[in-house]
A and B are shown apart, each in its own frame.
Chain A
């Protein structure tokens, strides 16, 4: 069965580029740009891996992640977090919130693909 990745990011051109790369890998890619409704979308349509930006309109990626981890339905969802801030305290915040992997912008396509493949391999079957 085709694996599904959800990308929550508010930058349309990043969505297009990442969406293209992942689709080319044979993955189904859902995208979403609004922080406030992200958790509803995820609960309604759970992906195999979530790629989550930190700075989103309405709600931060950290808050979305914390809510995911508090919800039994999504507590084990592999999450790759993207941030423009690579300081150690940002990484710590993400780790405390329960991130599975963390990447600092700008990243290469190959790095991003490696991380997604790794997370897909570790993803629980649903």
Chain B
């Protein structure tokens, strides 16, 4: 029932609260008891002078009878009552409570909202503690040190003498533990500050990881040396945000699987003979071309085959990994050139596409791009596979007969005329804008 049709119910509630008989209220309002009964059961609308008279007799503002308490306030109170159902709040008298004690009602609703906010914060912090190994380790260390200090200090504070040798040891232990505690606290504080700083300075977790890998020339020697991805991520990604570190663990876990399937020393030996041909490498190691491309892109900068670039995108075209080359930049965000074979590969999964590409408007040489798309996980019954595409870029033209294709980086800076894939006009004044 709509709230403005409950005026009669509110009159009845208010009368009962005051302990007034229906007949008495009817008499004082100069109406019949049967008419008041119809009003109180919302079967007669009420307004004008009669409403004013009844409000005056009942000692409330007329609006309290016609409007009741604010709907949002009632809803908040109802929610508070449902969250603490064991308290046995009188749900059928919510209107009355909010109407008679609006200040208390607002206080209660406000407290409930605050509890909810705090509960969310606690859940977020607990989640962070559970999933951030560095923070969990540091807090564990801190609690262990506090336990030691508390236990030792209690022994020293007890009445009665203890052996001087034990006393000396316990004093020394407390001293050592307090120094450790100070160090751990400082480390947690600087870690949390770095966390905020990292999050503020870099945009997305993907950008953080891109920047980190770029700084390492895309080669993570510790993984090639067999160290576990989690511990390497904890060490090299200590300055990343929580989400950035999570992403880094994923990237390094894949790196580690690639390194296990294609050990570095053997790959270096193979590329000295075959160069950067991912198909030859894949065949040599009995693996897929995508893994071979990733492995080639993660070789140390002084590898005999030279550097290759790599772009990996998911089925929506969003980059999951980007290693540009000086002659072949890869935009940071997803507004790249649709002519790249990376995207064509998505429509022809499991086929290896090879193209010679020329960067439109750049005075650079051609590059060879090899693209390949495959499902990103194992097959599942009655589930469509989710594809991801790899495109490796190597300097030069591998086969002399291939006609180079002119591609861009992104439409805004691409001068290519009459491009069938153009999304927006070029800033360079390309005549055939959209």
- Whether B148 pairs with A84 at a CB distance below 8 angstroms is no
B155 touches A21 (CB 8 A): yes
Q: How far is the CB of A91 from chain B (nearest CB, A)?
A: 14
Q: Are B154 and A14 in contact (CB under 8 A)?
A: no
A16 is an interface residue with CB less than 8 A from chain B: yes
Contacts of B150 in A (CB 8 A): 106-108
Stretch at the interface among B136-144, B323-331, B332-340: B136-144
Q: How far is the CB of B175 from chain A (nearest CB, A)?
A: 10
A17 at the B interface (CB under 8 A): yes
A105 close to B (CB within 8 Å): yes
Q: A106-B146, A109-B151, A109-B154 are in contact. Are A17 and B140 (CB under 8 A)?
A: no
Task: Report whether A16 and B140 are in contact in the complex, using a CB–CB cutoff of 8 Å.
Answer: no
> Could you tell me how many residues of chain B have their Cβ less than 8 Å away from some Cβ of chain A?
22
Contacts known (A14-B148, A17-B148, A87-B126); A106 close to B143, Cβ less than 8 A: yes
- Could you tell me the distance between the alpha carbons of A105 and B224 in the complex, rounded to whole angstroms? 39
B151 touches A18 (CB 8 A): yes
CB-CB under 8 A from B146, the residues of chain A are 105-106
Q: Using Cβ atoms and an 8 Å threshold, which residues of chain A touch B145? A: 11
From residue 143 to 168 of chain B, which have CB atoms closer than 8 A to chain A? 143-148, 150-152, 154-155, 166
Q: Is the CB of A17 within 8 A of B151?
A: yes
In the assembled complex, B169 has its CB within 8 A of some CB on chain A: yes
Is A55 among interface residues, defined by CB-CB distance under 8 A? yes
Interface 1/0s, chain A 4-22, versus B by CB < 8 A? 0000000101101110110
Residues 116-144 of chain B, each 1 if its beta carbon lies under 8 Å from chain A, else 0: 00000000001000100000100110011
Cβ of A85 < 8 Å from any Cβ of B? yes
Q: Is the interface of B mostly helix, strand, loop or mixed?
A: helix
* Cα A17 to Cα B143 with chains together (Å): 15
Cβ-defined contact, A84 with B154, below 8 A: no
The one of B140, B148, B166 in contact with A85, judged by C-beta atoms closer than 8 angstroms, is B140
Q: Does B214 contact A (CB under 8 A)?
A: no
Q: Chain A CB within 10 Å — which of B148, B150, B169 has the most?
A: B148
Residues of A contacting B136 in the complex (Cβ-Cβ under 8 angstroms):
85
Question: A87: nearest residue on chain B (CB-CB)?
Answer: B126
B170 at the interface (CB under 8 A from A): yes
Contacts of A16 in B (CB 8 A): 152, 169-170, 173
Across-interface contacts of A11 in B (CB, < 8 A) = 144-145, 147-148
Partner of A84, one of B144, B155, B170: B144
Q: How far is the CA of A55 from the CA of B147 in the complex (A)?
A: 14
Min C-beta distance of A2 to chain B, whole Å: 20
Asked if A109 and B140 sit within 8 Å, CB to CB, the answer is no
> Interface size bucket, A side?
10 to 19
Contacts A13-B152, A14-B151; is A20 near B166 (CB within 8 Å)? yes
**In the complex the two chains form, is A20's CB within 8 Å of B155's CB?**
yes
Closest chain A residue to B177, Cβ basis? A13
Pick the residue among B126, B166, B173 that contacts A13 (CB under 8 A).
B173
Contacts of A84 in B (CB 8 A): 139-140, 143-144, 147
Contact between chains at B155 and A17 (CB < 8 Å) = yes
Q: Mark A78-91, 1 if CB is under 8 A from B, else 0.
A: 00001011010000
- Name the residue of chain B whose CB is nearest to the CB of A11: B144
User: Is residue B403 within 8 Å, beta carbon to beta carbon, of the partner chain?
Assistant: no
Q: Does B176 contact A (CB under 8 A)?
A: yes
| Assembled-state Cα–Cα distance A21/B158 (Å) | 11
Instruction: Give bound CA distance, A20 to B130, whole Å.
Output: 33
Provide the residues of chain A in CB contact with B126, threshold 8 Å. Answer: 87
Chain B residues 79 to 137 lying within 8 A of chain A, measured CB to CB, are: 126, 130, 136
- Considering the complex, which residues of chain A in the window 67-126 have a beta carbon less than 8 Å from any beta carbon of chain B? 82, 84-85, 87, 105-109, 112
Residues of chain B contacted by A20 (CB below 8 angstroms): 155, 166, 170
Given the interface pairs A20-B166, A106-B150, the reply to whether A14 lies near B144 with Cβ below 8 Å is: yes
Taken together as a complex, chains A and B put the C-alpha atoms of A38 and B113 apart, in Å, by: 49
CA distance A48 to B144 in the complex (A): 25
Q: Which chain B residues border A17 with CB–CB below 8 Å?
A: 148, 151-152, 155, 170, 173
B140 touches A108 (CB 8 A): no
Q: How far is the CA of A109 from the CA of B155 in the complex (A)?
A: 8
Asked if B154 and A13 sit within 8 Å, CB to CB, the answer is: no
C-alpha gap A117/B422 in the complex (Å): 80
Instruction: With CB as the reference atom, state the residue of chain B lying closest to A85.
Output: B140
CA distance A85 to B145 in the complex (A): 14
In chain A, positions 3-53 with a C-beta closer than 8 Å to chain B are 11, 13-14, 16-18, 20-21
By a beta-carbon cutoff of 8 Å, the part of chain A in contact with chain B is 11, 13-14, 16-18, 20-21, 55, 82, 84-85, 87, 105-109, 112
| B interface residues (Cβ-Cβ under 8 A, vs A) | 126, 130, 136, 139-140, 143-148, 150-152, 154-155, 166, 169-170, 173, 176-177
Q: Could you list some 12 contacts between A and B, CB below 8 A?
A: A11-B148, A13-B176, A14-B147, A14-B151, A17-B151, A17-B152, A17-B173, A20-B155, A84-B143, A107-B150, A108-B150, A108-B154
Q: Which 3 A-B pairs have the closest CB atoms?
A: A84-B143, A17-B151, A106-B147
| Additional pairs, 13, CB under 8 Å, beyond known A82-B147, A87-B126, A106-B147 | A11-B144, A13-B148, A13-B177, A17-B151, A17-B170, A20-B166, A55-B140, A84-B147, A105-B147, A106-B150, A107-B147, A107-B150, A108-B154
